Structure 1
Amino acid sequence: MGLLEFGLDVLLGVVLGTLGGLFGIGGGLIAIPVIGVVFGIDQQLAQGTALVMVVPNVVLAIWRYNQRNRIDWRHALALGIPSLCLAYFGAAIAVSLDAVLMRLIFAGFLLVLALYTLLRVFLQTAPGGTTLRHSWPWLAALGGGAGALGGLFGVGAALLATPVLTSVFGASQVVAQGLSLSLALPSTSITLATYAMHDQVDWLLGLPLAVGGLLSISLGVKLAHALPERTLRAMFSGFLVLSAVLLALEV
């Protein structure tokens, strides 16, 4: 890899890291279709490579979200432990599926989440809060389901958890995004290890993306806390649609 290519990959990581901090997803959601389209690699390899960037990004983003809005670690553990347990099974299934089928399933999943999030922008007037309506065992059920999806799609745990935490559990968007990152960390870590064991990771591409992401994710977190609740939700929905479209371009 030449110096120019490395620099461009770092710059791409900067953009992805900013988006990851803004939406509380570590950058992997947009990274997967971008890596697939720009570098012409299949879905599983794109997912594994994106995770090299996502895992350190998530660690830093959790720290930044916790600085601005304290994360209740009892809730984080209730989400994270089941997520860790079920992420492996999702990842084991993912590495054996057809790549085109994976893209179509993932794109459909994103569109459904986008529609749900957008509807809530218009239908819900009361903003979320810092406390949750439900705790154990509902958080454990959400963590397990989100972890399985995270393992299957390489990302997805935080995506599923965020709208559920805002609607069912009554959390604000930024509180939900912080908790979702706590949920995503164990599942993304074990998913990365599973993809690596199946040779579905391009480390030479993933590492410069990770460097760029670490340089910029704090900016995304800062923007997330500066934006109005409805605006952030609407942007989150549009981001999901954009990601689904990019995935469709790969098929």
Structure 2
Amino acid sequence: MVEWAGYVLFGAALGTLGGLFGIGGGLIAIPALGLLFGLDQQLAQGTALVMVVPNVLLALWRYHQRNRIDPRHAIALGVAGLVCAWLGSLWAIGLDAVAMRKGFVGFLLVLAAMNLARLAGQQPAPAQALRHGWPWLGALGGVAGLAGGLFGVGGAVVATPVLTAVFGASQVVAQGLSLALAAPSTGITLLTYALHQHVNWPMGLAMAIGGLMSISWGVRIAYAMPERALRAAFCGFLVVCALMLAFKS
């Protein structure tokens, strides 16, 4: 019972971060599950997804309540992300766990470097409407979905910086759209991992309960933060996750 309660509290902390950064909490859950609980990379990703799927759905609803998400944009991202996430998850289950973890570290560091470069440069004001529509949103959904299926993070972590830098979205709008991409892709990725026995269900369900209790709080914090501060926090978050995973390596 004490162990189960600890998983719930852990999920609550991750849910707050997931709501804050629009990623469902999986990005930090995966290295934490490996570092703190000794799960291999595939099992950590599959277990984290049990928490991520309901977290993403609730966070998506909360972001939509505060800033309406255009269904045309959501569908373009979501459909492409779904197909490519399924392909990425099939690829992931056959990879060596150690090599996959090292690849994930590199993936996070590249994303952090991209965000740092953007913070250091001149940042144009967010556009009133997205600068690009279909098929560019579909292409982004495909690339982000493939990365999400491969690394178990839903693709939002890839889509968010691209939506702000290339498509001209504000940070909170980008995070909401990224959740629309992540919702179907995390579902199909979880199904693939579960069918191949890469999920610790008791741990994942306890974390999901905690995440659902706290994710709305994270969304409220995101909307209260200044744009630049939220982007800087997101960048630091990526670096922390990469360092955690590197220690496990």
Indicate the residue corresponding to 1:70 in structure 2: 68
Q: How does 1:151-170 map to 2 (within 5 A)?
A: 151-170=149-168
Mapped to 2, the partners of 1:131 and 1:211 lie a distance apart of: 36
Residues 6-61 of structure 1: CA deviation (Å, up to 9, x unaligned): 11110000100000000000000000000111110100000000000000000000
Mapped to 2, the partners of 1:113 and 1:210 lie a distance apart of: 26
Mapped to 1, the partners of 2:211 and 2:218 lie a distance apart of: 10
TM-score, normalization by structure 2: 0.98
Indicate the residue corresponding to 2:2 in structure 1: 4
Residue 217 of structure 1 aligns with an amino acid whose one-letter code is I
The yes-or-no answer on 1:129 pairing with 2:132 is no
Q: Do the aligned residues in 1 keep the contact of 2:35 with 2:248 (CA within 8 Å)?
A: yes
Q: How does 1:55-134 map to 2 (within 5 A)?
A: 55-134=53-132
Mapped to 2, the partners of 1:237 and 1:179 lie a distance apart of: 18
TM-fit CA distance, 1:122: 2.1
Residue 192 of structure 1 aligns with an amino acid whose one-letter code is L
Q: Do the aligned residues in 2 keep the contact of 1:81 with 1:143 (CA within 8 Å)?
A: yes
Residue 19 of structure 2 aligns with an amino acid whose one-letter code is G
Mapped to 1, the partners of 2:67 and 2:30 lie a distance apart of: 28
TM-fit CA distance, 1:120: 1.0
Which segments of structure 1 move beyond 2 Å, counting only runs of 4 or more?
A: 124-127
Q: Do the aligned residues in 1 keep the contact of 2:154 with 2:186 (CA within 8 Å)?
A: no
TM-fit CA distance, 1:129: 3.5
**Aligned-residue CA RMSD in angstroms?**
0.8
Indicate the residue corresponding to 1:171 in structure 2: 169
State which of 201, 222, 229 in structure 1 corresponds to 2:227. 229
Q: Do the aligned residues in 1 keep the contact of 2:154 with 2:183 (CA within 8 Å)?
A: no
TM-fit CA distance, 1:126: 2.3
Indicate the residue corresponding to 1:139 in structure 2: 137
Mapped to 1, the partners of 2:125 and 2:107 lie a distance apart of: 25
TM-fit CA distance, 1:151: 0.5
Indicate the residue corresponding to 1:201 in structure 2: 199
Query: Unpaired runs of 5+ in structure 1?
Result: none
Mapped to 1, the partners of 2:123 and 2:197 lie a distance apart of: 47
Mapped to 1, the partners of 2:78 and 2:233 lie a distance apart of: 26
Mapped to 2, the partners of 1:152 and 1:125 lie a distance apart of: 31
TM-fit CA distance, 1:130: 4.5
Residue 70 of structure 2 aligns with an amino acid whose one-letter code is D
Q: Secondary structure at the match of 1:77?
A: helix
Residues 54-76 of structure 1: CA deviation (Å, up to 9, x unaligned): 00000000000001111111000
Count of paired positions: 249
Residue 202 of structure 1 aligns with an amino acid whose one-letter code is N
TM-fit CA distance, 1:226: 0.5
Indicate the residue corresponding to 1:41 in structure 2: 39
TM-fit CA distance, 1:103: 0.7
Percent of residue pairs identical = 65
Q: Do the aligned residues in 2 keep the contact of 1:118 with 1:233 (CA within 8 Å)?
A: no
TM-score, normalization by structure 1: 0.98
Indicate the residue corresponding to 2:49 in structure 1: 51
Residue 122 of structure 1 aligns with an amino acid whose one-letter code is A
